[in-house]
Every structure is written in structure tokens, then in C-alpha cells.
Structure 1
Amino acid sequence: MRSLPLALCLSLALCMPVGAETDDEPIAPHRITVVMTPGITAWWQLPSDDLVEARRRLAQKGAVSTGQMRRLADLGDGFAALRFAQHLEKFATQPRAADIAHYYGVAAATGRGGAIVNMIRFLDQIDPTDVSPQRLALLKSIVVAYANAGNSAAADALVRYHWRQVPFGPLYDEVDVLLANLNGELAAELSLDQSLAILQDHQHTRDDLVNVQAYLATARASESLQTRIVAQNLEAMLAEAMARQTTLQNERVE
């Protein structure tokens, strides 16, 4: 029995954070892991005996050909994807950042949370015109899922990619959902980032400034005195920006 292609699994699967936080041992925000698809979990999901044997050898740290490792990774085997990404990073003569990001992404999507940091590292290096829309969409979905689960590395990357508009283009809706889902200091810090970016953009609209009001309300609720002070300073900038918008609007009316 063949497994579902990874992209289809991701579109059907419920994203599920792994490792619930406990009172005794809270999970660091950069260590939060998400399972978007189980991937390959048993030998009978593989289409051929040679891949069954290759998967067994890989699990036992035995020798596996590059071709077999890639075939396993392409079928959604997260462990094989992790090993193949590491292989490309270390041994490929002309490694493509897009390929390495993709295979680290497959590993991250199957619950290997440590892979998300490496995926982001190579996402930062890719040329979006050199990546298929399907792969870009898959990589974006992984970043978004990890960010919404509270992984701080992914949340920071999502906001950064939004303001750079690279590699996914603008991510207004995704960032708004992210801020609505997060709590605590991470939400406050990202709210400050959003507010400052909008206020420094001379093309901002009145709707953008209304969004800043909501962001600053989140930041003002922070337990951090420093965060609250920065929010107060940005409120002064917001008031000035609102006044300029009102002046411009009145001038247009006249």
C-alpha cells in the first residue's frame, strides 16, 4: 500500500502540537513541535522491498544509497528526509538551498521539530523564482503551522518574511491569525514588531493604523515593563500618524 503524497497529507491532516506543556517542565518556545502528517511509519506503506530494506538500514545507521534515501524522503518518510537534507548540506557539490529547505520541511512536518530551525535557515537563502509554487506553498504551510503552535523561531520567521515579502509575498492574514493565537510575551513582542513596521511605512493607510491600535493593546498587556514602555512610545507615534491621516483626508475633501 502506498502512502498518500506528502502535499495531500498536509492538506488533509490536522496540525497537532507535540509535547504539551506541563507545570514541571515547560517546553521552550523554540522547541515546540508540530505533527502535520505522520508520514511513513511502517514498512507496509512502502511500495517495494528494496525501500523496506533501505528504511531498516537507515534506522540502524547502516549504509543507504543517496537515491534510496531521496525516494524514502519523497514518500514522506520524515527520518529519511532529515538525513537526506543533512546529506545535501554536507556532501552535495552544488547544494540548492530550496532542496535542503524542502527536505528539512518534510522532516519538520512529520514531527521532527529540530528540523524547523534548519528549514528556516535555508529558506532565508532561497530564490523564490527558483522554487515551484507547490513547494513554496508547502514550505509556507509548515512555517505557519509551527508559528501558530507557538514555536518562536517560526513565529519570528513568519513576521520577518511578511515584511520582506520574500519568499512568500505579503502575509497579512497569516500574521493576524498568528497574533490572535499567541499569548504572553511572544505575542507582545510580535505586536511591537508589527506596530513599528507599519508606522515606519510611509504608505500606511488608516486601516493599518487601526490595526496598530490593536497590536499596541496586546503589547500594553505584557508583564514586561520594557515592552510596555516601548508600546507607550509607539502610541505617541501612532497619534501623530493618525493626525497626519486626518489632515490629508481633510485636504482631499477641500
Structure 2
Amino acid sequence: MRLLSVLLVLLAGQASAQVIPLPFTDSAETRQISVTVTPDRRSMKGLSADLVRARTAMHQNAEVSDEALRRLADMGDGLAAQRYVRRLIAQGRAVTAASDVAYYSAIAVGAGRVWTLPDMIAAMTRLDPETESRDRIRLYIKVLYAHAWAGNTLALDAVVDFNGEGKLFGALSDRTRAKILAQGEENADGKVELRMAMVLLEQQDLSAEARNRAKGLLEQAAQSRHLGIMTTAENLLALMETKDAPGG
């Protein structure tokens, strides 16, 4: 069993003594920080006659086919991408068409429509790192990283979650780790450090180096002014020490 699973089972046993809020939520403001990664389409330039008609209808809130929305989204129309995602979800295809939901959400979010970010991340959790298109993964990285470094806490959490061996973005590079920690320090709530520690502890075969890094991150999180984050970090550190002790 992964060390994190063991620690969380032990931590849950303390729930009667104190409530540990996991995971922690952010403010609506920090989850809605938006940046433009790719400028949204502002004209009909380059569109075929049928797409001109479809785009006109879309802006008039008239009926537009799924195919037309998809083609407009492929031509860089963020509004069409957002509406196509909502259409897929409304049709109950959030799971069966997870790659399309994630991809077209990324187009919408990259064009500044940050309200689609939760749909993008939810769909990404359903993707197989082995089969997902590398071109699509590069877009997810481009969009998520831009928002994470701008201070969007939802995107930053996702960057932490999708980096790692066997995960969608692959092994975490030293450069990306440094950027995550730098943004975490700027946020100054200890949440990033706690999440990064938990990602490490989730590894199947945790090396001594990774274990020490997790402890260091938990020690940083334990300095948080957020009571829940501080308490969770302190509890996990105490449980790690207990498990490391002879007979633990």
C-alpha cells in the first residue's frame, strides 16, 4: 500500500478528535484568474460561407449544429469551443468523449473563458497518458501553466496533480517544480507544498530522497496560517515519524 494511503487511514482515525478538511478550497477570485493564451477569434476572416452563417447564428443565440461548433472551435473560436463542451456534457458524453471535452475546454480557456477550466480539469482526470494525443497534451500544458503562473489556484493544483511518473504530463522537471514552489510561496498559504508532499507520498515505491523531500514540503506547509493546512501537515509529519520509528 502507498505510504499516503497508510497515513490517511491513520489520520482518519483521529477524526473524532478533530476535523481535518481535505481537500481545501480556494476563493472564487483565485480560481477565476484568467489569462489569454491564444487570442480569441474576432472576425469571420478565413471562414467558409457555411461557418460564417453558423457563427452569425451562434452570436444570435440561434440553433447551431454540433459539427459547426466543433469546426468553429478548430478555427480558434473560444465561444464555439465553450458551447461545444457544454453540448457534449449535456449529452452525457463527459466520460465517453473526455478527450474532446478536455481539448475544446482548453481552447475556450486559452481564449480567456476561464469558466470552462473546471470542465477541462475534470475531463483531464479521465484521460489515459498512454493514448492521449501529444498535441492535445501540449495544449493542456500550455493553458494550465499560463493560468497557474498567473496565480489561478485551480490551475496550480492541476499542474501539481498531472505532473509525475505515469501521469498525464509525465515526470516533474526541476524547472517546473521550482516554478510551482515559487508560485506556492507567492500564494503563501502552504497549500501547494501540502499537495506536492501528498503527490510524493502517493508513489508506490518511495525513495529515501523523495521521502525527505516530502518531509521538507510538509514542514513548510506546517508554517501555514491556514489552520486546516497547518494541522494536516503537522499530523502527517507526526505519523511519518511514528511509522519511521522502530516497530512503526
TM-score normalized by the length of structure 2: 0.72
Question: Deviation digits for residues 94-118 of structure 1, max 9, x if unmatched?
Answer: 9421011111111011000011100
In structure 2, list runs of 5 or more residues that go unmatched.
1-26
Q: 1:130-209 maps to which residues of 2 (within 5 A)?
A: 130-162=131-163, 165-173=166-174, 174-183=176-185, 188-199=190-201, 201=203, 203-209=205-211
Identity %: 30
- Quick one: which amino acid aligns to residue 121 of structure 1? A
TM-score normalized by the length of structure 1: 0.70
In structure 1, list runs of 5 or more residues that go unmatched.
1-25, 245-254
> How many residue pairs align between the two structures?
218
Question: Deviation digits for residues 200-221 of structure 1, max 9, x if unmatched?
Answer: 6574445435534652453244
Distance 2:47 2:214 in 1: 53
Q: Partner residue of 1:116?
A: 117
Question: Deviation digits for residues 147-170 of structure 1, max 9, x if unmatched?
Answer: 222222222222222357332223
Q: Partner residue of 1:29?
A: 30
- Residue 79 of structure 1 deviates from its aligned partner by 0.3
Q: 1:210-229 maps to which residues of 2 (within 5 A)?
A: 211-212=213-214, 214-216=216-218, 218-229=220-231
Q: Partner residue of 1:81?
A: 81
Distance 1:199 1:123 in 2: 22
2:190 aligned counterpart, secondary structure: helix
- Residue 36 of structure 1 deviates from its aligned partner by 0.5
Question: Deviation digits for residues 10-33 of structure 1, max 9, x if unmatched?
Answer: xxxxxxxxxxxxxxxx86222222
Q: Partner residue of 2:41?
A: 40
- Structure richer in helix, relative to its length: 1
Q: Please identify runs of 4+ aligned residues in structure 1 that moved more than 6 A.
A: 237-244
2:114 aligned counterpart, secondary structure: coil
Residues 185, 223 of structure 1: 8 Å contact kept: no
Distance 2:202 2:72 in 1: 47
- Quick one: which amino acid aligns to residue 86 of structure 2? Q
